Amino acid sequence: MIIRISDLPGEGLTIDEAAALGSPFEDPSWRLDGVHLRVARDGADVVVEGQVEATIPQVCSRCLESLPVQVRAPIDLRFLPRPAIADTIELSSDDFETDFYADDQLDLGALVRTETTLALPMKALCQPGCRGLCPRCGANRNLEACACANPPDPRLAGLRALADRREH
């Protein structure tokens, strides 16, 4: 959904329907569940506040099972008009909530994609206590008991040799 900045009403624009944004994600398996955005002008700047909810298919980092991840991304951004020359504005570390718009247009679909992607967990887990895959046979230890013996950790070989010498 492209918003023309000059067409924004004085009271701003509120978007409460996910259907209003169409399909902002390139991957059709990503689903936009809910959206509440408030877009308002502040002089030449544009302020976008609200929240986006989506369901994203992921793979568990330990057992490789598919799982849907519910994402809730809060949005609080200020968009400035893109300067004619790129080096005329210097952003500081306090400006992480600042971005630019160009040609009197703001792409809300791109904003939703970016914020949803940033809200994804770094390490998706199917359950907090996921036991993962057996390093020897590859069995999912959440579903079946593996008969493989746990291999000794090679990083502890020096300690094991020291303990063996103490016992003899």
Helices (H), 67-124: 108-119
How far, in Å, CA of 114 to CA of 5, rounded? 20
User: pLDDT tens, position by position, for the chain (168 residues)?
Assistant: 788 877 888 887 888 888 878 888 888 999 999 999 998 888 888 888 999 999 999 999 999 999 999 999 999 888 877 776 665 566 666 666 666 767 877 888 888 898 999 999 999 999 999 999 988 888 999 998 888 877 677 888 888 888 888 876
pTM as predicted: 0.73
What's 140's DSSP letter?
B
Handedness of CA 100, 103, 106, 109 (dihedral sign): negative
Structural contact between residues 71 and 55, judged by C-beta atoms closer than 8 angstroms: yes
